Structure 1
Amino acid sequence: MSTETDNKHWDIFCAVVDNYGDIGVTWRLAKQLAHEYELNIKLWVDDLHSFSHILPELDPSQTSQQFCGVDILRWSSPLDITFVPGSVIIEAFACELPFEVTESLIALKKDNKATPPLWLNLEYLSAEAWVDGCHALPSLQKSGLKKFFFFPGFTDKTGGLICEKSLFSEREQWQATPDNKLALFEQLGLQAIDKNDLCISVFSYETEALAALCELWQDTQKKVHLLIPKGRSLHSLSHLLPIEYELIKPGQHYEYKQLTIHILPMTDQQGFDKLLWSCDINIVRGEDSFLRAQWAARPFIWHIYPQEDDYHLVKLEAFMQVYCDNLAPEIAGHWSALNLAFNQGAQNRVKTLWQHLDSVNRPLLQHAQEWPVNALNDADLASRLVQFVKNS
């Protein structure tokens, strides 16, 4: 691994678990590392079909293809492509490396003339306090190799957050011109949306809280447009839809007094970012969408993935504490209660809290606009990764 080419060669392995969450994070990271640091990134993915939903140009039948300067390789078992190690291997979210890869690492360790790649496990994002103490710790494997645990996070003691260098300026330019969002809505096939209407994007899991809010939005003074793709969140509204779920197509819309439900087409990551930038409130799930909602500088609700014994609520509380650090207590309390009620599926409570959202909306929006710069902590995830590898 002594040549410059080898030093710039990184392998990232991603096992797609939740359709778009894991691959969404690793695809953004791979693109940023290739573009901003001119690294030769090879992204190994075990489910190219799911990947193609956020990268429509991708051909799931191909073993190897390149987009945005990243080599995308099909991770099959056994591998269709001979693995040639570079200087860094990243296993995303504790996915287990292919047998051929671990065997090659062991062989390199036994060869005194060769240096094995630096092995990193990119962990899930969390705001919990224990992350600070666990970030970048090594773990000795049975093979004798060391694996380092790299934790994204919200403090300078963690691995930071994924954020492209030009993202905030691009978002600010987009939001400065209201016509941009109207042009985007037209491009997505969404009709009859006025720039002064309330637009809410939804990318959540199933929850009765969403159905309860839809009942509320039907009788608001201001027109509400709910922008939602086919998927888990739309299943929560099946009782409202006039046709069978299988017959619903992107571009269709359904009116219920002041509420209009618009069916979104799937889009790539750039299009999804612009959608979040264009809405007044975003309801998101998972990790990738959760972080992009923060970068959108708009108020949001995070529908966190449910876990046993309600441990997901512990993670939610940890994030809310960090996010609300500089908020006035009454505003922080209201926003936190709304997020908690949505995650608990508390129908009556989420409706009550939403009805009082107007009283805190202006300072909440101001906080959402200031948060991205504060959360970034001077260095993003890609920058901290590159620096960690350099120091190692």
Structure 2
Amino acid sequence: MRWDIFCSIIDNYGDIGVCWRLARQLTCEHGIKVRLWVDQPSVAAKLIPGLDSTLASQHIAGVDVCHWSSPFPPVEVADVVIEAFACELPETYLHAMQNRRPVWINLEYLSAESWVDDFHAKPSVHPQLGLTKHFFFPGFTPACGGLIRENHLLAERSRFQQSKVSQAAFWHGLGMMPNQAYTISLFCYPHAPVNSLLEAIAQTDQPVLCIIPQGQTADHAMQWLDAHPTQDRLRIATIPFLSQEQYDQLLWACDLNFVRGEDSWIRALWAGKPMIWQPYLQEEDTHLVKLEAFLQRYCQDSPSDLAIHMMAAHRAWNRHGFTPSAWQAVLAALPGWQRQAQTYAENLAKETDLAAKLVIYCKKFF
């Protein structure tokens, strides 16, 4: 079978991050021929090693990565067509689908909200073309479409976390060797209350190494550090853009991970380490509704006192920021949080993953 995945890169790297992971997994684990259509190859090249953004198509890691150009080139319609995150298919391709009649999937954004169960896999008929589109919702329950998780992921994570040699080699590759009490990774949207976090760390007793990807947040943090030369509790390290495999290792190696959006959020969950999520900012505080829905699932099996701290940390990061006492509470909760995070990842992994569920769902149409 041949599948086409269409990815329109809207904001940073979240969309292409998910689509590239999915394309590789469908190819490697399910033997499917995948064309990944990307409208901004120059952006995708940050995440797809070896991608030449000047080429119309390239075969990388078993996947045909193609430029979604305008006008769209005449190509044969695939057996399964995935439009990721409600991107609109090219008109010429859409009309060609009338003859081929492929399975048409709209891969939705991830949400932990309960309504997702009811809408997963629901069909919708195109009013002019008569083609049926199926809405596929990733999610946290058996009734949803699952989460992206490669078959080998948790085993690789365990090997890495149990190997001091592997961890030392990873840190050496980044040009550092953490010796602080705590190491945290910080990946957030620009509106995050970063100052409150840095000030809270600086006013508590435990030394912290804060690792931040190069960019606006890192620049802001370094400016803050320059303005507070007398504090000695906080060390900030900026790192270059990492490959997906390297970013997984960063999450596996840190004591606490601040993540955002969708791709880094799910990878942090699989890391089995304490994490604080920042959903994408939405009007009328809809993102806070999504946050609360996730927290109810994330904390449901935790001891009540631990759940209180985990929820408070997420709410502080997504609302008013941290006070020194709130940050101290986070650090105090980390041992129990670590055990909870590992158990949560293991329980999530008992469910069928997203790629497998997509394959199972689409096969019934052939």
Task: Please give the TM-score of this superposition, normalised by the length of structure 1.
Answer: 0.89
Task: Please give the TM-score of this superposition, normalised by the length of structure 2.
Answer: 0.95
Name the structure 1 match of 2:253.
278
Name the structure 1 match of 2:331.
358
- Equivalent-residue separation in structure 1 for 2:22 and 2:192 (angstroms): 34
- Give the aligned length: 363
Name the structure 2 match of 1:102.
94
Q: How does 1:127-138 map to 2 (within 5 A)?
A: 127-138=112-123
8 Å CA contact retained: 1:205, 1:232: no
Report Cα offsets for 1:207-228 as digits up to 9, x if no partner. Answer: 4522212122224433211110
Q: Residues 347 and 327 from structure 1, CA distance in 2 versus in 1: closer, same or farther, beyond 3 angstroms? A: closer
RMSD: 1.7
Match of 1:77 among 63, 70, 73: 70
Aligned sequence identity (%) = 42
- Equivalent-residue separation in structure 2 for 1:229 and 1:44 (angstroms): 27
Structure 2: tracts of 5 or more residues without a match = none
**Deviation for aligned residue 1:238:** 5.5
**Deviation for aligned residue 1:86:** 1.7
Name the structure 2 match of 1:120.
105
8 Å CA contact retained: 1:131, 1:153: yes
8 Å CA contact retained: 2:4, 2:82: yes
Q: Residues 255 and 228 from structure 1, CA distance in 2 versus in 1: closer, same or farther, beyond 3 angstroms? A: farther
- Equivalent-residue separation in structure 2 for 1:101 and 1:341 (angstroms): 46
- Equivalent-residue separation in structure 2 for 1:346 and 1:219 (angstroms): 14
Query: Is 1:92 aligned with 2:87?
Result: no
Report Cα offsets for 1:332-351 as digits up to 9, x if no partner. Answer: 11111110110114343xx4
Match of 1:334 among 297, 306, 309: 309
Answer with 222-231 or 38-47: which moved more.
222-231
Report Cα offsets for 1:30-76 as digits up to 9, x if no partner. Answer: 00000000100000000111111122421111110111100000001
**Deviation for aligned residue 1:255:** 9.3
**Deviation for aligned residue 1:363:** 1.6
Match of 1:269 among 222, 240, 244: 244
Name the structure 2 match of 1:209.
193
Query: Is 1:223 aligned with 2:207?
Result: yes
- Corresponding residue SS for 1:120: strand
- Tell me which amino acid in the other structure corresponds to 2:265: F
Structure 1: tracts of 5 or more residues without a match = 1-7, 109-114, 244-253
- Equivalent-residue separation in structure 2 for 1:352 and 1:219 (angstroms): 9
Name the structure 2 match of 1:16.
9
**Deviation for aligned residue 1:158:** 0.3
Q: How does 1:248-327 map to 2 (within 5 A)?
A: 256-327=231-302
**Deviation for aligned residue 1:236:** 4.3
Q: How does 1:359-378 map to 2 (within 5 A)?
A: 359-378=332-351
**Deviation for aligned residue 1:206:** 1.8
Name the structure 2 match of 1:64.
57
8 Å CA contact retained: 2:201, 2:327: no
